[in-house]
Amino acid sequence: MSLDAETAPFSPPSSQSRPASASPAPASQSPLGLAWIERLVSIDTTSRVPNLGLIEMVRDELAALGIVSTLTHDHRGQWANLFATIPAHDGATNGGVVLSGHTDVVPVDGQAWDTDPFKPEVRGGRLYGRGTCDMKGFIGSALALVPEMLAVGLAKPIHLALSFDEEIGCNGAPYMIADLVQRGLKPDGCIVGEPTSMRPIVAHKGINAYRCCVRGHAAHSSLTPKGLNAIEYAARLICHIRDLADAMRRDGPFDEHYDVPFTTAQTSTIEGGNAINTVPAECRFAFEFRNLPTLDPETIFARIERYAHETLLPQMRRAHPDAAIEFTKIAAAPGLDASEQAAITALVRALTANRETRKVAYGTEAGLFARAGVPSIVCGPGDIEQAHKPNEFVELSQLAACEDFLRKFIHSMTVGAQA
């Protein structure tokens, strides 16, 4: 539901109305949310590990404050999203703004850490630990300020949205968003707190990931004509994907606000065959493409699928009738292209005093909220350069800036600011 800034249901605070508590924390002072963040980081929520322990802990802490949470589970039952609402002063729960973050983190396997990644540690003005930057810093900061949200008298509700499986393709948030639609909840806007160094991000690319299985026919390598080499045909398809990527890099379309200003594609993993003297019957590989949000990802995939089924497969079946090329979608998250006229864009720009146009190649859940009709923008503490790396950290000054931003945001949602 796009909203013009002139008719925004929430307003940025003026310099005269900014609360004293909105001042940044001194460098020597620990951010208010530090204890919350350390608690969250201490729970291993690597995507392959159930996150229900963290979600239920947050649910119980919110319940102690009188806030009801809704959990949406996937088919496995041990992973869940949490959606909680701090109502407006009159009890209203519809409209308002979502503060969104994912609870899962990437693995630490094979990384050389100087400390235990799940025992957060403050050193030299930084908080180290897996997820400190991406993105438990934002979540902990928001949770720490819930008592202030309850105390100020909100004109519009503030919602907290915590998701699972973002790191493996934004697979968790769709369950939560579908539940919101079913319940008739229509937030006016969403702030996704991915690490942006507290600078507004108005657009990002879409992510589309697939597995492909090429099935040929096994034979002894001395009888090669009697077999059908799945690896060789997979290689032709992989080269086609590379040719498509080269064409998009050469011909565009382009958007120079991105660090990589065109749509990209690549093959990332491959496996096949079982012996050097056997014609391989099967080859499996995974590929992805990251599209500018102005491009239809289905059109891009259709070009790959058409080459596979209309060019390669007929050749393969002339050699063996049981040949096949099968695609499986691993993940698909839409891009984001926020309107400068949207109220949430105007609000975040005002609160950060930042008018620069920034767009990023990585994906977030903001595109999912936007596709569901919730205007969205990305802004959170930490530098994306620190995410996913060994010795991941977030600067304490970034957490202080995030808390300053969130306090100003909370004030902008109060009855006095809305008057």
pLDDT of 217-264, one tens digit each?
A: 999 999 999 999 999 999 999 999 999 999 999 999 999 999 899 999
CA distance 282 to 298: 26
**How does DSSP classify residue 10?**
S
Report angle CA 116, 26, 396 to the nearest 5 degrees: 25
End-of-domain residue from the set 277, 300, 333: 333
CATH of residue 25's domain is: 3.40.630.10
CATH of residue 287's domain is: 3.30.70.360
End-of-domain residue from the set 333, 366, 401: 333
pLDDT of 157-192, one tens digit each?
A: 999 999 999 998 899 999 999 999 999 999 999 999
Give the pLDDT confidence score for residue 415 in this predicted structure.
80
Burial class of residue 6 in the structure, from the number of CB atoms within 10 Å of its CB (0-12 exposed, 13-18 middle, 19+ buried): exposed
CA distance 93 to 187: 9
198 with 214, same domain: the answer is: no
Which pTM does this prediction carry?
0.88
132 with 163, same domain: the answer is: yes
20 with 154, same domain: the answer is: yes
Among 177, 192, 69, 150, which Cα is nearest to 413's?
150
Which residues lie closer than 8 Å to 410 by C-beta, 6 or more apart? 145, 148, 149, 152, 154, 158
For the chain, how many structural domains are there in total? 2
Among 126, 120, 158, which Cα is nearest to 400's?
126
325 with 340, same domain: the answer is: no
49 with 171, same domain: the answer is: yes
CA distance 169 to 35: 29
Is the confidence at residue 16, as pLDDT, over 70?
A: no
297 with 328, same domain: the answer is: yes
Per the structure, the complete domain to which residue 72 belongs is given by 5-203+335-418
Give the pLDDT confidence score for residue 5 in this predicted structure.
35
327 with 341, same domain: the answer is: no
277 with 348, same domain: the answer is: no
Instruction: End-to-end CA distance of the chain: give it in Å, rounded.
Output: 23
The H or E element spanning position 337 is: strand 336-337
134 with 225, same domain: the answer is: no
Burial class of residue 112 in the structure, from the number of CB atoms within 10 Å of its CB (0-12 exposed, 13-18 middle, 19+ buried): exposed
Give the pLDDT confidence score for residue 214 in this predicted structure.
98
115 with 225, same domain: the answer is: no
33 with 172, same domain: the answer is: yes
Which residues lie closer than 8 Å to 333 by C-beta, 6 or more apart? 169, 170, 206, 207, 363, 364, 365, 367, 368
End-of-domain residue from the set 311, 333, 355: 333
134 with 41, same domain: the answer is: yes
pLDDT of 193-208, one tens digit each?
A: 999 999 999 999 999 9
Give the pLDDT confidence score for residue 326 in this predicted structure.
98
pLDDT of 328-378, one tens digit each?
A: 999 999 999 999 999 999 999 999 999 999 999 999 999 999 999 999 999
